Amino acid sequence: MDKQLLSDLIAFTGIETQFTDAWGNQSEVAEKNLLTLLAAQGFAVDNDALAREQLLERQQDHWEQLLDPVSVQKAGHDIQIELKLPIALANTPLELVLTTEQGKTHTFTVTATDDADLNQVMVFDGEEYQQYQWTLPVLLDQGYHSLSLTLGELDFVQSLIITPSACFQPAEFKKQKQWGVSVQLYCVRSDQNWGIGDFADLRFLLGHLAKQGADFVGLNPIHALYPAMPESASPYSPSSRRWLNIIYVAAPQMPGFDQCKQVKQLVNAPGFQQQLDAARAAQWVDYSAVTRLKLPVFKALYQWFIEHQSEHAELAAAFSVFKQQSGESLLQLALYDAIHAHLIQKDSHAWGWPVWPEAWQRPDSDEVLAFAKAHADELDFYCYLQFIAREQLAQAQAFAKEQGMLLGLYRDLAVGVSEASTEIWGNPDLYCRDASVGAPPDILGPKGQNWGLPPMLPYQMFQQAYRPMIDLFRANMQNSGALRIDHVMALLRLWWVPKGAESAGDGAYIYYPIQDLLGILALESQRHQVVVIGEDLGTVPDGIREILAEYGMYSYRVFFFEKAEDGGYVSPAHYPVQAMATLTTHDMPTLIGYWHCGDLHLGKEVGLYRDDQLPGLFESRHKDKQKILDSLHGHQMLAPHFDHNVDHVGMSTELSYAIQRHVAKGSSQLLCLQLEDWMEMTQPVNIPGTSDEYPNWRRKLTMTLEQLSEQQNVNQLLQELTRLRRN
């Protein structure tokens, strides 16, 4: 391809041609990878003339929009308005109408050559376009406003978003430091659940930890998955990030459970209790078994609700309001789930809309609309389950606050959706289906990672006025005190891996409009009073952490990754205050797993590492453990008689608690620990870079919540953590 054309295409699409890898080395993206990613975005890379024509066409489309679809600006500053005009309109008076979020209107008449500054010129097919800028003579409050221009029969509308300068931070943060625990909800065992952790378990855990002084419980992503395909269980490959996973609904807490005769027949039927006991006792979550237990009961309880609406008018009214406020997005999810269930009964390979018959691949096709009409009750059933899920989650958050927790629930926003998702089905133009989000080789994934998540197209995100991102932030800030943004680098750039690439390393970074996205995130954070934590691990470019900190976002500091230049470990006392400190994550081994190199042994078993890599990894781990032991002794976190030589030290309760106390004494505002380490578990919940090699997202906790609550040594540790954080 012509070098200038390639350069122009790269600039237009935001591809980064070189980057600094996780080890600090400069890496150049191969030209073949650049061309593959351009092809993934629809450019004819094997035909220069056609590719040049495609580029000009997209540029011209942009310039023919006299008003950009969206403009994001900070409150307290002059509002800058830009117009792109054909030269013939440069002297024409134009009327702009500003409508504020509160409904107030202002009208302005402007003439570009009289009032504005000319800052750019473009020519297409001999016609010159000029971009003008001027200051709006109105100060706007934070919020979502609208600017419109009518020109003959053409209407141009811009979403004018005025944002705060930073995300929400509670005033209480200035008085003391907070701590909490993260839990993969599906892993939870209890005496009451049906083989998988649920929102009733969450309430129990919140109550127990609140008594010990905890400020929050962090959850794995609880996004909607696939009821018709329960074994597609990764919380990080959802169908919709706006809606909830209905498998977490606690059936006994649903309206009518104690009154519904059909439910009593179901749960008292021969075999039900045996199946329930088996699901509870299973070492790994049996998603299919749990779904077989829950769905018939859910359907019976929905039917009970329909038949008894007149007696439960408040509940019926709340459901009606929920549907009205949720709009098309909820109906689309319900429609997708109903069609999926319908098609997969006929063909077990109908894993998602990309392989459905062509007539079913669009939500607005005649066949799909006819199905929706014929199966209205089934759609309403799925809407009802989302309503109940939201109610149970809201009740858990309200309970946490009643118990004195500052934040309560701390939710997790996944980086994307799977190819089969309802989000892509309903908005295919927004996504690039010929590429996948992933990561170049780094510490967590030595071979790189391909997550199988089609990325959003930055240009389409802009064309849709960031509406999908606004809806996403809003949905995930509901009923929570904090939100963790998984792979927060996605606000700046994403590693795109082309479909068919030999390895995840054969990709490149593509840039996103970080300032706009951070502004919107800050606006929603302030409106929902939600703290934002950015998971800033992996390959982090220079300056990005400073930008995130400016916006009031909390960094994510993992103890095992915080190393000094001499190879030792940075004292948690020197961690940033504006951060969440943690020992491990869902992508890492437990404390015992780390200390006994269980992750390296497992990685060898599943083929994650080359044989020539392993000796160096084991040697490095041995040195790291000695450095940790040295650091703990240096900070007097271990008794003087505790062995100083790592060759003689296995992971023990004493050592585990010392590490947890060490991090708890640190300077970071937030501390997040894991239930697994209190239960002294060895197996990880997920091995990055694997799919079928290990049963990811299925490993259960080894204790029930009831058993955990009775562990006096654990409770003493938690109370000590509270004292350390308060002091």
Is residue 586 one of the residues assigned to a domain? no
Report the pLDDT value the prediction gives residue 629, as an integer from 0 to 100. Answer: 97
The residue out of 43, 62, 81 marking a domain boundary is 62
Assess whether 82 and 53 both reside in one domain: no
Is residue 430 one of the residues assigned to a domain? yes
Dmax over Cα atoms in the chain, in whole Å? 86
Assess whether 42 and 95 both reside in one domain: no
Assess whether 518 and 409 both reside in one domain: yes
Q: What is the CATH number of the domain that holds 90?
A: 2.60.40
- Please give the Cα distance from 237 to 241 (Å, whole number): 9
Which amino acid does the sequence have at 96? L
Using CA atoms of 629, 630, 636, 639 in order, give the dihedral in degrees to the nearest 10.
Answer: 50
- Asked if residue 608 lies in contact with residue 687, where contact means CB atoms within 8 angstroms, the answer is yes
Is residue 680 one of the residues assigned to a domain? yes
Assess whether 515 and 496 both reside in one domain: yes
Is residue 580 one of the residues assigned to a domain? no
- Please give the Cα distance from 651 to 629 (Å, whole number): 11
Assess whether 284 and 330 both reside in one domain: yes
Encoding tokens for residue 147?
Answer: 């600017």
- Please give the Cα distance from 572 to 664 (Å, whole number): 8
* Residue listed under structure tokens 């295919």: 428
Residue 444 has phi, psi (to 5 degrees) of -75, -30
Residues 6 or more apart whose CB falls under 8 angstroms from that of 648 comprise none
Is residue 449 one of the residues assigned to a domain? yes
Q: Is 274 helix (H, G, I), strand (E, B) or coil?
A: helix
Report the pLDDT value the prediction gives residue 444, as an integer from 0 to 100. Answer: 64
Residue 512 has phi, psi (to 5 degrees) of -120, 160
- Which ranges of 542-590 does DSSP label H, i.e. alpha helix? 544-550
Encoding tokens for residue 219?
Answer: 């959850």
Assess whether 487 and 545 both reside in one domain: yes
- Which ranges of 308-375 does DSSP label H, i.e. alpha helix? 313-346, 366-374
Give the β-pairing of 223-224 and 240-244: antiparallel
- Which ranges of 148-255 does DSSP label H, i.e. alpha helix? 199-212
Encoding tokens for residue 513?
Answer: 């409009």
Residues 6 or more apart whose CB falls under 8 angstroms from that of 374 comprise none
- Please give the Cα distance from 726 to 715 (Å, whole number): 17
- Please give the Cα distance from 337 to 325 (Å, whole number): 20
CA distances from 535 to 170, 256, 485, 547, 664 (A): 20, 41, 6, 14, 19
- Asked if residue 585 lies in contact with residue 609, where contact means CB atoms within 8 angstroms, the answer is no
The pTM assigned to this predicted structure is: 0.95
* Residue listed under structure tokens 């009740």: 395
Is residue 355 one of the residues assigned to a domain? yes
Encoding tokens for residue 26?
Answer: 């400069």
- Please give the Cα distance from 684 to 588 (Å, whole number): 7
Domain that holds residue 55: 3-62
Is residue 549 one of the residues assigned to a domain? yes
The residue out of 146, 163, 180 marking a domain boundary is 163
The residue out of 142, 163, 184 marking a domain boundary is 163
Q: Is 491 helix (H, G, I), strand (E, B) or coil?
A: helix
Assess whether 146 and 239 both reside in one domain: no
Q: What is the CATH number of the domain that holds 469?
A: 3.20.20.80
Assess whether 46 and 192 both reside in one domain: no
Report the pLDDT value the prediction gives residue 688, as an integer from 0 to 100. Answer: 85
Assess whether 280 and 229 both reside in one domain: yes
Distance of CA 47 to the CA centre of its chain: 38
Distance of CA 709 to the CA centre of its chain: 30
Q: Is 101 helix (H, G, I), strand (E, B) or coil?
A: coil
Output the CA torsion sign for 81, 87, 89, 91.
Answer: positive
Assess whether 429 and 539 both reside in one domain: yes
- Please give the Cα distance from 39 to 637 (Å, whole number): 56
Q: Is 161 helix (H, G, I), strand (E, B) or coil?
A: strand
DSSP for 470-532, written as a single string: HHHHHHHHTT-SEEEETTGGGGTEEEEEETT-SSTTS-EEEE--HHHHHHHHHHHHHHHT-EE
Assess whether 446 and 350 both reside in one domain: yes
Assess whether 243 and 259 both reside in one domain: yes
The per-residue pLDDT for range 153-210, each reduced to its tens digit, is: 889 999 999 999 999 999 999 999 999 999 999 999 999 999 999 999 999 999 999 9
Is residue 379 one of the residues assigned to a domain? yes
Report the pLDDT value the prediction gives residue 683, as an integer from 0 to 100. Answer: 95
- Asked if residue 386 lies in contact with residue 244, where contact means CB atoms within 8 angstroms, the answer is yes
577 burial level (CB within 10 Å; 0-12, 13-18, 19+)? middle
- In the chain, which stretches have pLDDT less than 70? 444
Q: How many domains does the chain have?
A: 3
